[in-house]
Structure 1
Amino acid sequence: MRRAVTRSVAFAVLGAVLLSSLTADAAQASTQVLAIASSVGQVFDNIRNWLVGILAGLATVFLTIGGVRYLMAGGDPGEVEKAKQSFKSAGWGYGLAALAPLVVEILRGIVGA
């Protein structure tokens, strides 16, 4: 019984791999590249958007970790200090995310775009 189940799972996986390899060629033939920027200004806008998104996302992670640590500290001064450090890191992350457009504008001015 166990061998029959293993064999049927193996055939199902093999069939899925074959099916996906057959359909992948057809899907690749009709794809369009959408990531081409039409100007240097658009590249800088994309860089700004990515920087703000990544920095704000990381800051949110640190804020969440700090909040969880603070709630779970139970009065332990070491854990409370670690939570406060996470809050400070989140603040730095949000500050850098707010300054990212300025940094990109400075780079745009240096490049001359």
Structure 2
Amino acid sequence: MSMHQLFIVAQQISTNALPHAAANGNTVRAIISIAISITAAISLLFITIGGMRYILSRGDPQAVGKAKGTIIYALIGLVIAIIAQAIVSFVFVRIT
């Protein structure tokens, strides 16, 4: 069967029996908001873990470096989560 014949057969298939998505803007907005909130909470948790590692490093340069890295990457994650929330809010305001 050639591609042309497949396209002809595919056009004859009815799509009325397919289920329709019932998600509206509020559902999508809530899911995205929850995901961003979880990401921000995880970032804050890692900032706390990095701070504890920094306190408990007792001046060991390698441990201090790892603690600073944890804090920096967690802060970057938190900034990304905040920016993502701003973008999502901006897009939903423009859509609705």
Contact conserved, 1:44 with 1:108, CA < 8 A, in 2? no
Equivalence map 1:7-22=2 (5 Å): none
Deviation at 1:105, TM superposition (A): 4.7
Partner Cα distance (2:88, 2:24) in 1: 12
Partner Cα distance (2:28, 2:87) in 1: 10
Partner Cα distance (1:56, 1:99) in 2: 11
TM-score, scaled to structure 1: 0.54
TM-score, scaled to structure 2: 0.63
Unaligned runs of 5+ in 2: 1-21
Quick check: 1:90 aligned with 2:71?
no
Q: How large is the RMSD of aligned CA atoms in angstroms?
A: 2.3
Aligned residue pairs: how many? 74
Secondary structure of 2:77's counterpart equals helix
Instruction: Report the AA paired with residue 27 of structure 2.
Output: V
Equivalence map 1:1-113=2 (5 Å): 40-105=24-89, 108=92
Q: Greater share of helix residues, 1 or 2?
A: 1
* Shift >6 Å, 4+ stretches: none
Secondary structure of 1:75's counterpart equals coil
Unaligned runs of 5+ in 1: 1-37
